[in-house]
Structure 1
Amino acid sequence: MVDRINDIAWQAHQGSVAAIIQLLNEKLAKSGVRTRAIFSDGILQILCEAASVEQLEQSPVVAEIQQILDSIAPRHIRRVNINSRIVREQQLLWLKEIDSDRENQLLWSQEITLIQPNIIKQLIKDFTEAQAGLGKSNFPKTQVSRPLVLVNKEKPKNQPNKKILAAVGLCSLLLLSWVVYAQLGNNLKSLMQFQTSKSLTTENTSNRKVQTPLSSAKNNLSAPSDDQFAIAVRIANLASASGKTATASTQWLEIAAKWQRASDLMSTVPQKHSRYQEAKIRTQLYKKYSEAAQKEADKSKS
């Protein structure tokens, strides 16, 4: 499991200004440029400083910062204002100072806009991160394992730690569900009006490749109810993998059907199951993924 506390790239992606500046300084070190930043009024204000004017040539500096920030794709940050000046002593109120007299304080200033990441790819990435926190799809056939629980019979004293890790995993999934809903907003409501019969007809006539994994999952309905959780996760993993390469409308319809199937299976997990509460969360999460994939299918048709 990745230690998120020490994962600077992940913190930068979540919107941490300190982590963003650390990555910028690492990548700009060869050019002799150092950066500082403040998030103010919805804009990330970046100050670039160097010992000479040549090191702060506007076009290459702006292009390199744009490329770095687009690769980071920080959450909730779209507008970035890049300022530059010859290096000075540390000033805690540097933004207030340059705002008071920009013509004399700065060499140049330029605002850029970061690329909006594809929402489907972002959903898949979030789902993959959630899977990493809750345990991957290597479920045993006879007994479903608990998320993030490391079996160690020789050290029974670790039991409290195992419970804490399991709780953290469930909290991560709850947070992910909230983020998905906040990102999609009203679009999710409009997607619920999608014609189910039309999508199923198009799926059956255009692409038969999905029939094999889905048929095998349906056949497993006769298996004991304790297996429904593992089956649903396997189907969800198939949908997640397919979403990374899908481009055509028929492919997105196939992915939407897989997510819906996984959601339906999760809803059949009984209360006595050891992961019943997690199954309830995944039922709603998989349903949202299915609706998002249906929206992508409509977009591909137009």
Structure 2
Amino acid sequence: MILLKKSGFKAITTSPMVDRINDIAWQAHQGSVAAIIQLLNEKLTKSGVRIRAVFADGVLQLLCEAAKVEQLEQSSLVEQIQHTLESIAPRHIRRIKINSRIVREQQLLWLTEIDRDRDNQLLWSQEITLAQPNVLKQLIQDLQEAQAELGQANLPDLSPLNNKAKQKKVSKVKLRSAFALCLLLSLGWIFYSQFGEQLKNLAQLDNHNSLATANTKRKESEVLSNAVNNGVSLQSDDSFAAAVRLANQASASGKTATSATQWLELAAMWQRASDLMNAVPSNHSRYQEAKIRTQLYKKYSETAQKEADKSP
């Protein structure tokens, strides 16, 4: 806010940093976890999903909770979260681990509780990597923000000076800003030329590691599937965890399925997961949830079967 008076008083300005205290989007862009949580919850409030988060070991851990399993459908929820975070482009945050479960009582150390028994604590979890922002574009944005703050903080004195003095003072401010812009653009171009390929290689390495992890989980799922198909008995206490692991694999495979054969395999995986959930005994601590999952997985199996019928 700027107040000017023609009677010769100096300009009264309000520092833009005061406004930044209440600028949630700006705080989230700077990497504030609290601001990121607020924006994500505002985005997902209509879907009934509540999000908590903590930054640990270079990874932003998100916990998504809802009253019903249907509200935590993996592919759509992950897509919404990734789109929102990439639009925020939080500084120094690239790796995101998304965890989901049916809402429970408040836990201050929820990440510790999850790490102790992830199979029985979660519906599913997935790690994503945010797209690398354009270095030059980021430098220009930072310069614009800094220039705006500098321009407000160093607003010319509007006391009664002669016109030449006013013009000279304003010209100096413009000259300094133009010089700073040229300097930052030059530094940005040099940095991108020197390290651009290295940044791309790092991003490719992250993707390679993610694919390797997915392949490992796929092999584990195949071993489990063979055991079920061959009639190997599973302990009733383990059927819930086994069904969750198989469902997570089926959910990941559903993103790449295109042929009729792949859809048929996917339908079989969902059906096996449903059968395992149905085998959970009534005295199990999560029996009611297992009943819900049994029907949900069966529905997914039927959907995959329909996709197989439509595929050539």
Length-normalised TM-score, structure 1? 0.52
1:182-228 alpha-carbon deviations (Å, 9 max, x no partner): xxxxxxxxxxxxxxxxxxxxxxxxxxxxxxxxxxxxxxxxx989945
Name the CA distance, whole Å, in 2 between partners of 1:150 and 1:225: 9
Q: Find the partner of 2:77 among 51, 61, 65.
A: 61
**2:187 counterpart letter in structure 1:** E
1:59-117 alpha-carbon deviations (Å, 9 max, x no partner): 00000000000001000101000000000111001000010000100000000001111
**2:188 counterpart letter in structure 1:** A
- Residue 47 of structure 2 corresponds to 31
Distance 1:32 1:297, change over 3 A: same
Max Rg structure? 2
Distance 1:94 1:128, change over 3 A: same
Name the CA distance, whole Å, in 2 between partners of 1:4 and 1:62: 29
Length-normalised TM-score, structure 2? 0.50
**1:34 counterpart letter in structure 2:** R
What secondary structure sits across from 1:111 in the alignment?
A: strand
**1:72 counterpart letter in structure 2:** I
Kindly, what percent of the aligned residue pairs are identical?
64
Distance 1:102 1:125, change over 3 A: same
- Residue 293 of structure 1 corresponds to 189
Name the CA distance, whole Å, in 2 between partners of 1:150 and 1:28: 47
Name the CA distance, whole Å, in 1 between partners of 2:91 and 2:65: 25
- Residue 147 of structure 1 corresponds to 154
Which runs of 4 or more aligned residues in structure 1 lie more than 2 Å from their structure 2 counterparts after TM superposition?
148-153, 223-233, 285-289, 291-299
Q: Within 5 Å, which residues of 2 pair with 1:115-264?
A: 115-135=131-151, 147-148=154-155, 227-233=171-177, 236=178, 262=179
Shift in Å, 1:230: 2.8
Q: Within 5 Å, which residues of 2 pair with 1:4-19?
A: 4-19=20-35
**1:147 counterpart letter in structure 2:** N
Distance 1:85 1:290, change over 3 A: same
1:4-38 alpha-carbon deviations (Å, 9 max, x no partner): 10000000001110000000000000110000001
Shift in Å, 1:290: 1.5
What secondary structure sits across from 1:6 in the alignment?
A: coil
Q: Find the partner of 2:99 among 70, 74, 83.
A: 83
Residue 51 of structure 2 corresponds to residue 43 of structure 1 = no
Shift in Å, 1:132: 1.1
* Cα RMSD after superposing both structures: 3.0
